[in-house]
Structure 1
Amino acid sequence: MIQSITSIQSLSQERIDNMHQLQQQSYLVEQQLLGIDPFPPLLETKQGLAASDEACLIRCDVENILGFLQYVVTDNQLVINKLVVRPDYFRQGIGRDLLQSLIKQKRDSSILVETAQKNTPAINLYEKLGFRQTTQFYVEEGIEIVRLERT
């Protein structure tokens, strides 16, 4: 089941705690993949997540959050800020389902996302769903970033 949330602030503290825990688990795997320490996304606190006014999609089973996608909408453009999946559900279609749901809901918007160049699983997923690489650049942590867009 995918649940659409207009703002993370509208979620219960328990749900936010679960999302934060999932985010930490997922980003630890990404940190190892990228070889970056400290990895900036791991520094986000529960309070920071709870204060976000971003919209999100959450994929759940009966008891657990399996993944979530956070995004913001500006004019005719949508920017994905996070796509997080429980590590024990990697490569089982959770991320794909969240992205496809977002694409379906926001048909008239172009969608932008940025990820590390070394994050080939994410890049492959985005490209399979019609995203194209538009730009590459480095951020201050020395990470090479790829910007992808779907129009």
Structure 2
Amino acid sequence: MIKEINIKDRKAAEQVLSVQLPAYKIEAEIIGYPDLPPLKDSADALRTTGETFFGYFTGEKLCGAISFKEKNDVLDIHRLIVHPEHFRKGIAQKLLNYIGRRPIIKKMIVTTGSKNTPAVAFYLKNGFKEVEMIKINDLLTITAFEKLL
């Protein structure tokens, strides 16, 4: 079941962090960049992001989450995370589909590590187009994607 997460609630933020850290640890391994900023997040940091969070739950257990900010008619995805125990179960797809149905959204945007081939393939498969590659430093490049709705 997908439901909104009150990220300002400390327990909820800790629950999201318990999915985020192992998910981004896998991304860091895939792209060869162990210093990913989301690995440094705390529950308090999540509580103050200003992002809207939705989670995919099995019973009371959070298995995946998506967060975003909306401005005008653009939905900016900030994180799409699935706990590694729940990879390849369609959870990321369900979360993306869920937020894609929000009213008055004309475009979705997202960035991911350019070397994160599973994420890049996921966004391309879902109709996102690559719009820019951004070199953060010598070890990290991110790719920006957009999808017009």
Tell me the TM-score normalised to structure 2 length: 0.92
- 5+ residue gaps, structure 1, are none
The count of residues paired between Structure 1 and Structure 2 equals 148
Matched, 1:142 2:139: yes
Task: From 15, 18, 22, give the equivalent of 2:15.
Answer: 18
Number of the residue aligned with 1:96: 93
Q: C-alpha separation between the residues in 2 aligned to 1:126 and 1:38?
A: 23
Number of the residue aligned with 1:3: 3
Q: C-alpha separation between the residues in 1 aligned to 2:26 and 2:84?
A: 7
Number of the residue aligned with 1:84: 81
Q: C-alpha separation between the residues in 2 aligned to 1:66 and 1:34?
A: 23
What amino acid does structure 2 have at the position aligned with 1:96?
Q
Matched, 1:129 2:114: no
- 5+ residue gaps, structure 2, are none
Tell me the TM-score normalised to structure 1 length: 0.91
Change (3 A) 1:38 1:141: farther
- Deviations along 1:24-74, whole A, 9 cap, x unmatched? 111111111111132221011111012222112111010210100010011
Number of the residue aligned with 1:49: 46
| Identity across the alignment (%) | 26
Task: From 33, 57, 60, give the equivalent of 2:57.
Answer: 60
- Bigger drift between 80-89 and 45-54 goes to 45-54
Q: C-alpha separation between the residues in 2 aligned to 1:39 and 1:146?
A: 15
- Structure 1: 4+ residue segments shifted above 4 A: none
